[in-house]
Amino acid sequence: MIAVLILAHHSPDLLGRLVKRLESYGAQCFIHIDAKVDIAPFRAACSASSPIFVKPRKRVIWGGFSLVAATLSLLSAAISDTRFTHFVLISGDSYPIKPREQFRQLVMRPFEQLEHRVIPSTSPMYKRITETYFPETFVHFAPDEAGNSAAQPRVSKTTLMQVKRIHKMKQQGFPWRYAKGGQWWSLTAETARHCMDVIGREPELMKWFAYSAVPDEALFQTILENFGLFRIGAGMPVYTVWDGTAHPLEFSDPDHFEKLKRAANPFARKFSLKNGAQLLDLLDHWMDT
């Protein structure tokens, strides 16, 4: 059985449609709603389905450890259920792009599916782990009430003391191989439980990632790289197209239909009911026939 872990913060109607589709495929959905938004519209949109909304909810800031914390809330809620053979992490603006049986075959393969590459210490990207000293963002400013990380250059005395301790730790060098990839993944139950075990018994590792940039794209990759032998047999389970900006292309044009059908992934991202309802209708019709 598949557990789908969903990080959502907008588009409740799309989330409701996503959950309905996944439940028709025999999956159980676990949902984390960003604590900055009202959860009521999301519960209402999913009222005809049976997802599990997890607690505690985190105030999620892009690029910060709060994304990891929200992911761990999802995984912690699902991990003890021995019925689950696979755990898939996706965003609430993702959607399946394969019919039921093909979807299940792609997700339930006997290996891990995630992007993974080791970052050499000479790479500028290595500074994400070695030269980031402030929590919750790689921009060295505290977030304002709206979660904008660069809005207010204020740092408390307590935060400065924390930074001083983290700076001292980081002067010693990162003691593991640093690996990264995309945020979304599919893990077998054995590997997911092993990751949670490592997270529980390696507080130093977690401290490094709590004070790092974009840790959601590196924590699980680094665990798989350093703590055991794992078979990574495919990349991310989510098909994404980057169009030269910091955000992925939104699939909204019906002309995207054939491209999505040809993709090798069980999911794609990102979608919008406002702009892409016709495309989603095409996908649903194809997946149901």
pLDDT, residue 18, reads: 98
Residue 259 CA from chain centroid, whole number: 23
Q: Residue 151 to residues 128, 137, 143, 144: CA-CA distances in angstroms? A: 21, 12, 6, 6
| Cβ–Cβ under 8 Å, residues 235 and 115 | yes
Going by pLDDT thresholds of 50, 70 and 90, the confidence category of residue 134 is confident
- Listed by start position, the domains of the chain span 2-119+176-288
Average pLDDT of span 36-56:
97
| Helices and strands, number each (H, E), in the chain | 11, 12
Please name the helix (run of DSSP H) or strand (run of DSSP E) that holds residue 189, with its range, or none: helix 189-201
Q: Is 106 helix (H, G, I), strand (E, B) or coil?
A: helix
Both structure tokens of 181: 């990839």
| Cβ–Cβ under 8 Å, residues 287 and 257 | no
Pick among 3.40.50, 1.10.3720, 3.90.1150, 3.90.550: CATH of 2-119+176-288: 3.90.550
pLDDT, residue 102, reads: 97
Going by pLDDT thresholds of 50, 70 and 90, the confidence category of residue 154 is low
Going by pLDDT thresholds of 50, 70 and 90, the confidence category of residue 104 is very high
Q: What is the CA radius of gyration of the chain?
A: 19
- pTM of the predicted model, to two decimals? 0.91
Percent of the chain with pLDDT over 90: 80
Place of tokens 């699939």: 251
Q: What is the mean pLDDT of the chain?
A: 91
pLDDT, residue 163, reads: 80
In Å, the largest CA–CA distance within the chain is 61
